[in-house]
Structure 1
Amino acid sequence: MNGNGGIISYGAYIPRLRLQRSAIFAANAWFAGGLKGLAKGERAIANWDEDSVTMAVEAARDCLTGIDRSTVTALSLASTTHPFADRLNSGIVKEALTLADGIASLDVAGSQRAGTSSLIQALNAAANGGTQLCVASELRKARPASEGELVQGDAAAALLVGAGDPIARFIGSHSVTLDFVDHFRASGADFDYSWESRWIRDEGYTKILGGALAEALKSLAVDPAKIDRLLIPISARGVPEGLAKKLGVRPEAVADTLAQKVGDSGVAHPLLMLVAALEQAKPGETIMLVGFGQGCDALLFETTQAIARLPKRDGVSGALARGKADDNYMRFLFHRGLLDLERGMRAEADQKQPGTTLFRNRKTVLGLVGGRCTKTGTVQFPRSEVSVNPNDRAIGTQEDYPLADKQARIVTYTADSLTYSPAPPQYYGTIDFEGGGRMFAEFTDVDDDAVEVGRPMKMMFRIKAVDETRDFVKYFWKAVPVEQPGAKEKSDG
C-alpha cells in the first residue's frame, strides 16, 4: 500500500535504571543455569512509578520539542500493556500533553506489531490532512528465571506524522497477517506463554518474515542493495543479519537492535529503532522498518533535507546517556509486583480517587497547568480565582499557565524514611519554576548525593499512587534532577 506525507518529528523515552543481566542470572543460577548465555549486557527497567502511559507521555514530549501542539489533530497509543482495559489510555496521554479537546484519540493493542500497524494507518491518513502523534510504549512482566526476564526491556517511542515538509518521506508499506502464535497472553494474565524458540526462528522469522520482506521489496519496487538502514526489531542472535543476507541487503545496513543496552521493548521496539536510525540518518537515505507479530509490517521511508533542520531532542541517544547501572534484583521484583514485601501500616492509606474531582481538575492534575494573573503577571499553582500576589489580590484575572515544560530549582527538601515509599527514602520539597510559580512536589529518579538546594529539576509525568482496592492508577507530576552525576556508576541498591 502506498502512502503520502511522512514523519515530521520523533522522540523516545527509556527509563533511567538499567538492570544488569548478570545480577538476574546470579540470583537464579541455582535453578536456571541454562540462562547463562543471556546474562550479558543490561535491560532498561521502569521505576515503580512508571508504566506504559507515563513512558508514552515522556516520549511524546520529546517528540513535540519545538512543535506547536495545537497542530496535532489525532493521537494513538500502541501497547499490549495498557494500564486500563476500559479507560482511554491515550486520553490520559492527551491530558498530560495539554492537547486540544477536539482531537481524535485511539488505543491500539493485540499484537507486537501494533506500533507499526498504527503508524501505517496514520501515514495513510495523512493524505487527508491533519497531523497525528503515534506513540508506542511497553512495560511487560516476565516470570522470574525466564528468558523473557533477561531479554525484555521497557521503553517508549513517538513519531509525529503528516503532510507538508517531512524529515522522512513515506514511500509505502506492505503487510501480511497470519495467526502465527509464537507466544500469547490471555486477558488478565500477567505473563506470556511462548513456544519453542527454534520453531519460531525457522517457521516465523525465516519463512513468514523472510517471505513477507521479499514480497515487500517486490511490491515497493526497491532494490535491496540500495537500502541504507534495515530495522528488524528481533533480538534473537543472527536473525536480522541472516534475513538481510537472504534478501540481498548489505550487511552494514542492518541496524543495531539495542538488545544489549535496552532489551526487547515489544510494541515500542520497532518505533524505538526507527527513532535511533533517524537520529543518525542523513538526507537521501532509504530506511526499511519491520514489525513482526501474527504477520508482518514493512514500511519504507526516504529521508529528506528537512532532517538536518530538525531541532535537537533527547531521542534514543539522550535516553541511553541518562542510564544508570543497577544490580538490585530484589527491588526490581518488588517494583514489578512479583515479590510481596511487608509494607507496614503506613502503606494502608485509602487511595480512592473521586472521578468527579479528577474531571473538574484534570488540567491541574494531569496537565500541570497553573495560573498566571493577567494583571500582575504572578504565576501560581494551582490556579484559583484569587491571585496569590500579596500586593494585589486580583479576582478573576487568571489565565492557564502550563508548567510541565518549565525548569525548576529546589528551594527546600526532605528525605523521609518514615512514610511509606516503594523506593525509600521518599524525597519531596518545594521547587520554584523559572518565570515564576512555586509548588510542593515529590522527587523521583534521585540519588542521595543528587539532592541539594538550588539543584535544577525538570518535571516528569509519573504514577502518584495506586488504589489497589479499586484497581485505579493515580497520575501526577514529579520533579527529577536535570543532570545525573555518575550516571554510569552502579546504584547503591
Structure 2
Amino acid sequence: MVSILAYGGYVPRLRLSREAIVTANSWFNPALKAHMAGERSICNWDEDPLTMAVAAARDCLTGVAKESVTACHLASTTLPFVDRQNAGVVAAAAGLPETATTMDVTGSQRAATTALAAACRDGSGRTLLIASEKREARSGAPQEALYGDGAAALLIGPGPGIARLVASAGVAVDFVDHYRAPDHRFEYGWEERWIRDEGYQKIVPRALEPALAEAGISGAEIDHFVMPCVYPAVTRSFARTYGIRPEAVSDTLQAVMGEAGAAHPLVMLTRVLEQARPGQKIVLVGFGQGADALVFEVEEGIARLEPRIGIGGHLARGRPETNYQKYLAMNGLVDQEHGKRAEIDGQTALSTLYRKRDMVTSLIGGVCRTCGTRQFPKSALCVNPNCGEYDSQDDYPFADEPARVLTWSADHLVFVPTPPAHYGMVQFDGGGRFMADFTDVAEGEVEVGMDMRMEFRIKEMDSDRGFRKYFWKAAPARQG
C-alpha cells in the first residue's frame, strides 16, 4: 500500500487587491470590472518557484527524518532554469541527502497530478513531490487578476499514512487551451467557451468516470471534489452531472489567492487534507492537454500528523498590497530606473558556489566537537575564545534553528528592488550568530529581540547572464 504520508504548503505573504488591478487598467478594458472582488497572492521580489518550493518542502517535512526521503520531484511550468536541474536546488536547500533522486516535471498544467499518480504507483521509496508556480501575465490581461502564486508538497511512500490512493485514471489529449513558447514570456490563450465546452466538459469525464468506476464509488459518496478551474460554472456543472453534493465541492481559493497553475491541484488538495477526517473520499482532478483523476481515502494517520503551517496557515498571515505600480516593478513589468548603485556586476563564480554549496544552499555551519560551540560560517578555528580548537568543526544545519534579532538597520542607500534594505545580526537560540538580510518586513516593523526564522530566497539577480543567486534571509517567525 502506498499513501500520502505528510503535506505542506506555502502562499506568499503579499496579497494584491484585485480592485487595484482593475482601477489601473479598466480605462481601456471595462470588462476587467468582473474581476474586482477579492485578492491574489503575489511573490515578493526575492521569491520565485524555487524559493516557494523550498518553503513548502520544509513545511511538509516537519517532524520527518529527511534522510528517509529517497526522491524529490518538482512540478512547475515556470521554473527559473531551463538547463539546470531545479529540483536539485530545492533538494539541497530542503536538507535532503545527495543520494535522493531529483527530477523536474513540467510542460503541462497537470504536471503535478501526473507526477502524483506516478509516485503513488511506484511505492519503492519515499518521494517528496512539490508543485510550485509563479505564472506571469501582461499588465491589464484578465489572467493578471485570476492567477496567484503558491506551492504545495506531499510526501508519498509505502505503508499507512494520511490518505491512500484508491484509484486513478488519465488521458493525454493535445487540446491547446493556451501555450507558451520558450522565447515568449507570456502565454497565449484561446476563448473561454472553447476551453469550457470542448475542453473540460469533454475531456475530464474520460478520466473521471473510469477512476470512479475503479474505486467503486458514486458522486454522492465523494466528500471532497477537488478540481481547479477559474470558471466556477464548470465545477458546478460537474457536480450536478455526477451527483456530487454542493458542499463537497472544494473551494478553489480564487477569492483569497487566485489559481497557482500546475501547483493548484496540490494546493487545493493540501487545503482539503488540513480539514479532512478518516474515511472520507477525496477526488482530485487535474486538467491540461488531457486530464488526470485520482481517488483517495483519508486514513487514521491524519489525526496523528504533527501540526504544520499548511495552506490555511499561510493564507491567514496575508498582508494586503494595494500599490499596483509596486507589483509591476517587482515583476519587471515596467522598465524602472534603479540608479547607479544597481549597476554593480553580479557575476557568480560557479566554482566557489560549488565548493561552498553546503553553506550557501543548505545553510550548513559548524559545531565544535570539543566545546559544543555553534558558529556560522564553519571555519578551521573554533570561535569560542576559551576553546580555540583547530579543525574541530562538524557540520551543523542552521536553516530550521529559531533566531532573534540582535541588531538591525534599515538602509535607503543600499540598492534593493523594494527599499529600504533591512539587515542585521541574528542570534540563533542554540548558539551561533549570522549577519543576514531581512525579508518580508516593512519599515518600522523590526525591533531587537524579534523572533525570526530563516527563509531560502533570491539574494540578487544577474540579469546580464540570466542567473539567480539564492541564499538565506531572516524573516519574522510570526507574521500576520
- Which of 406, 411, 421 is 1:416 aligned to? 411
Measure the CA separation in 1 of the matches of 2:227 and 2:331.
28
Amino acid at match of 1:295: G
Q: Is the 8 A contact 1:98 1:363 kept in 2?
A: no
Displacement of 1:7 in angstroms is 0.1
Counterpart AA for 2:100: I
- Write the letter of the residue equivalent to 1:275: T
Q: For the residues of structure 1 that align with 2:182 and 2:291, how far apart are their CA atoms?
A: 23
Give the structure 2 partner of residue 23 of structure 1.
Answer: 20
Q: Are the equivalent residues in 1 in contact too, given 2:17–2:320 (CA < 8 A)?
A: yes
- Residue 220 (structure 1) shift: 3.2
Following superposition, the deviation at residue 211 of structure 1 comes to: 3.9
1:173 shift after superposition: 0.7
2:108 alignment partner in structure 1: 111
Indicate the percent of aligned positions where both proteins have the same amino acid.
51
1:159-198 alignment to 2 at 5 Å?
Answer: 159-198=154-193
Tell me the amino acid that sits aligned with residue 347 of structure 2: K
- CA shift, 1:99, in A, is 1.0
Matching residue of 1:281: 276
Q: 1:329 aligns with which of 324, 330, 335?
A: 324
Cα deviation, residue 431, structure 1: 0.5
TM-score, L = length of structure 2? 0.99
1:32 to 29, 34, 38: 29
Cα deviations across residues 179-234 of structure 1 (Å, max 9, x unaligned)? 00000000131111000101111111111123432232223322221111000111
Within 2, Cα distance between the matches of 1:306 and 1:425? Answer: 46
Output the CA distance in 1 between the equivalents of 2:334 and 2:399.
34
Q: Distance in 1 between matches of 2:11 and 2:350?
A: 31
State the superposition RMSD in angstroms: 0.9
Matched residues in 2 for 1:81 and 1:16: separation?
Answer: 20
Give the match for residue 293 of structure 2.
298
* 2:68 aligned to which of 71, 92, 101: 71
> CA offsets, 1:86-140, max 9 Å, x none?
00000000110121111100000000000111111111111xx210000000001
Which residue of the other structure, out of 335, 339, 352, is the alignment partner of 1:340? 335
Residues 216-365 of structure 1 mapped to structure 2, 5 A cutoff: 216-365=211-360
Hey, what's the Cα distance between the residues in 1 that align with 2:274 and 2:90?
Answer: 24
Which residue is 2:367 aligned to?
372
What secondary structure does 2:274 align onto?
A: helix
- Answer yes or no: is 1:7 the counterpart of 2:23: no
Please point out which of 403, 410, 429 is paired with 2:424: 429
Give 1:381 deviation, angstroms.
0.4
**In 1, Cα distance between equivalents of 2:206 and 2:92:** 42
Letter in 2 for 1:20: S
For 2:45, which of 35, 48, 51 is the aligned residue?
48
Residue 239 (structure 1) shift: 1.4
Partner Cα distance (1:363, 1:165) in 2: 34
- Give me the whole-angstrom Cα distance separating, in 2, the residues matched to 1:215 and 1:116: 16
What amino acid does structure 2 have at the position aligned with 1:363?
A: D
Shift in Å, 1:242: 1.0
Amino acid at match of 1:289: L
2: CA distance between counterparts of 1:90 and 1:456? 30
Partners of 2:246 and 2:448 in 1: CA distance: 51
Cα deviation, 1:122-162, whole Å, max 9, x if unaligned, reads: 11111xx2100000000011011101101000000000000
SS in structure 2 of the partner of residue 55 of structure 1:
helix
Residue-by-residue CA offset, 1:450-478 (whole Å, 9 max, x unaligned) = 20011111110000011111111000000
Q: Partners of 2:29 and 2:311 in 1: how far apart?
A: 32
Q: Distance in 2 between matches of 1:283 and 1:348?
A: 57
Q: Which runs of 5+ in 1 are unaligned?
A: 488-493
CA distance in 2, matches of 1:305, 1:6: 12
1:123 corresponds, among 120, 123, 127, to 120
Per the TM alignment, residue 480 of structure 1 is displaced from its structure 2 partner at its CA by 0.4
Q: Is the 8 A contact 1:184 1:194 kept in 2?
A: yes
- Counterpart Cα distance in 2 of 1:354 and 1:448: 33
Q: After superposition, what is the alpha-carbon deviation per residue over 1:386-414, rounded to whole angstroms, capped at 9, x for unaligned? A: 11111111111111110010111111101
Say which of 442, 447, 459 aligns to 1:447: 442
**TM-score, structure 1 normalization:** 0.96
Q: How far 1:270 sits from its partner (Å)?
A: 0.1
Amino acid in the other structure paired with 1:42: E
* Distance (Å, rounded) in 1 between the aligned partners of 2:83 and 2:68: 28
The answer to whether the Cα contact below 8 Å between 2:56 and 2:151 also exists between their aligned partners in 1 is: yes
How many residues in Structure 1 have an aligned counterpart in Structure 2? 480
Structure 2 counterpart SS, 1:470: coil
Structure 2 Cα separation of the partners of residues 57 and 43 of structure 1: 21
The range that moved more, 397-406 or 201-210, is: 201-210
Letter in 2 for 1:76: H
Deviation at 1:311, TM superposition (A): 0.6
Q: Please say which of residues 198-207 and 104-113 is displaced more in the overlay.
A: 198-207
Segment drifting more, 175-184 vs 441-450: 441-450
| Bigger mean CA offset, 409-418 vs 441-450 | 441-450
- 1:137 maps to 2:137: no
* 8 Å CA contact 2:160, 2:301 repeated in 1: yes
SS of the residue corresponding to residue 393 of structure 1 reads coil
Following TM superposition, by how much is the alpha carbon of 1:331 offset from its aligned partner in structure 2, in angstroms?
A: 0.8
Amino acid at match of 2:422: Y
Aligned partner of 2:83 among 77, 81, 86: 86
Deviations for 1:327-356, whole angstroms, at most 9, x for unmatched residues?
A: 111111111111111101100111111111
In structure 1, distance between residues paired with 2:235 and 2:183: 32
What amino acid sits opposite 1:427 in the alignment?
H
Cα deviation, 1:418-445, whole Å, max 9, x if unaligned, reads 1111000000000000100101000010
Distance in 2 between residues matched to 1:212 and 1:9, nearest whole Å: 26
Query: Is the 1:214–1:247 contact (alpha carbons within 8 Å) kept by the matching residues of 2?
Result: no
Separation of aligned partners in 1, 2:182 and 2:276: 39
Q: Match of 2:444, SS?
A: helix
